Structures are given as C-alpha cells and as structure tokens.
C-alpha cells in the first residue's frame, strides 16, 4: 500500500526500476559503453537518496538479467568488475545514509570476487533501518517462479505441505523477494514499453510508468514526475 505524503500525495512503498539506456547514452555522446555504465551507477546513487527523502521504503533495480550473459564477453566482464567495485566503493556511503542492501537473484555464476563483494555489502548493511535497496542480479522473473515451484513441489512431496493448502502466500514466501511488499510502481527508463522478465509475479498490480529519459540522465526531477503521476492514478487492483 502507498503512504500519504503532504507534498506529493500518495507515495509508493516499493518502487521497481528497469534501468535502461546506459549504452545508448554513451553512444550518443561518443563515449565508451563502460562510461555509460559508470554514469548509471551515479544515477542509481541519486535515485536511492531521492527515494529515501520522498518516503519510499523499498527500491528494487534490475541490475543484470539472465539474458545479459548473451552480450559481448568483454562487456559482461566489465559489468562483473564494475559490480564488485561499486559494492566496495559505495558501502560507506550506504552505511552513512542507513541503506540496507539485499541481492535478489542467483549470483552463483558471478566471479568469486564479485560474489564476495556483494556478500560483504549485504552483511555490512544488514542492520540498517532506512530504505532497502534490492539489486536484481542474474535475475529472471520466469526463473524465479520456476525456483519457487520446485521448492514448493519438494515440500509437498515430502509431506510438509498439502497441495490444497498451496496459495498465493505460499508462492510469495518462496520467491527471491519474500518478505517484501509487492512493487506499487514500476518505472522503466529509455523509452521502451516492455517488462523484460522483471518481477513478473510481484508486478501483477503495479502501476507502470515509462520515460524516454536514458538511465544516466534520470534525476530527482524525473523521479518526482513518476511519483506525481502515481499519486494521480486511481488503483483498482482488479475491481
């Protein structure tokens, strides 16, 4: 459920973001793809700060999808390196700003150094009580649902749960995002109109907002525009 803000009206508790446009942003400026991703980290830092100021409780960002492995090997290698570097360099700022980080997805295929940096970031920020930042890494909505179904099926086969007792709460409890409210608002930058296999189950009733702004240019004004649009909408939840 959204919360009421005197300045902005109803503010979403949970905002999910598809951060699209890093490469296009770089090409348009004659810069390297790597620089586009670096600027994307800057935009993410700004997003978290703005969301915290506006009263948002959870931000989930699509950092690396399972489909991203198909990109050029050099690009994937850079992303793995950037992920590890950002996990280390952003840690103290996140601690100072009371941000709690959680990795959502299966990072077992990531390089050992990247996995270690992410684990340390999660562990170090675990006791923070402010906004939660969820990093969807090596994430796929379909794979998440398959994983949940397999674990529920194993529990049913072991007699731990009866098939007739399986409901939406059961499925939710077995998702990577268990314990977190579903997103109220799903934002996609870069002008595309796709959900791209992101939070498929959780986004059943999320409000969808897109902008042509490429991710590195997404700033406080853009985020406020999304929040203002969200506050104007009447959410029906299927009714």
Catalytic residue among 20, 22, 182, 184: 20
**Radius of gyration, alpha carbons of the chain:** 18
Tell me if 132 sits within 8 A of 100, measured CB to CB. Answer: yes
H/E segment holding residue 134: strand 132-139
Cα separation, 227 vs 189, in Å, equals 14
Active site residue 20: yes
Cα separation, 89 vs 61, in Å, equals 18
Cα separation, 161 vs 131, in Å, equals 34
Active site residue 138: no
Catalytic residue among 68, 128, 197, 217: 68
Return the active site residues: 20, 68
């Amino acid at each position: 459920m959204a919360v009421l803000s005197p300045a902005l009206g109803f503010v979403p508790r949970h905002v999910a973001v598809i951060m699209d446009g890093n490469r296009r942003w770089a090409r348009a400026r004659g810069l390297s793809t790597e620089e586009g991703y670096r600027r994307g980290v800057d935009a993410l830092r700004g997003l978290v700060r703005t969301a915290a100021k506006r009263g948002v409780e959870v931000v989930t960002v699509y950092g690396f999808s399972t489909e991203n492995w198909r990109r050029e090997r050099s690009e994937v290698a850079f992303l793995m390196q950037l992920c590890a570097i950002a996990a280390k360099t952003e840690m103290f700022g996140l601690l100072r700003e009371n941000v709690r980080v959680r990795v959502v997805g299966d990072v077992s295929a990531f390089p050992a150094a990247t996995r270690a940096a992410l684990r340390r970031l999660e562990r170090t920020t675990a006791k923070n009580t402010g906004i939660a930042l969820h990093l969807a890494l090596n994430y796929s909505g379909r794979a998440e649902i398959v994983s949940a179904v397999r674990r529920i099926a194993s529990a049913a086969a072991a007699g731990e749960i009866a098939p007739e007792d399986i409901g939406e709460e059961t499925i939710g409890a077995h998702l990577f995002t268990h314990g977190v409210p579903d997103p109220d608002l799903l934002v996609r930058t870069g002008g595309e109109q796709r959900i791209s296999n992101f939070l498929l189950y959780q986004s059943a009733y999320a409000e969808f907002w897109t902008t042509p702004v490429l991710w590195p240019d997404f700033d406080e004004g853009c985020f406020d525009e999304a929040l203002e649009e969200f506050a104007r909408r009447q959410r029906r939840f299927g009714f």
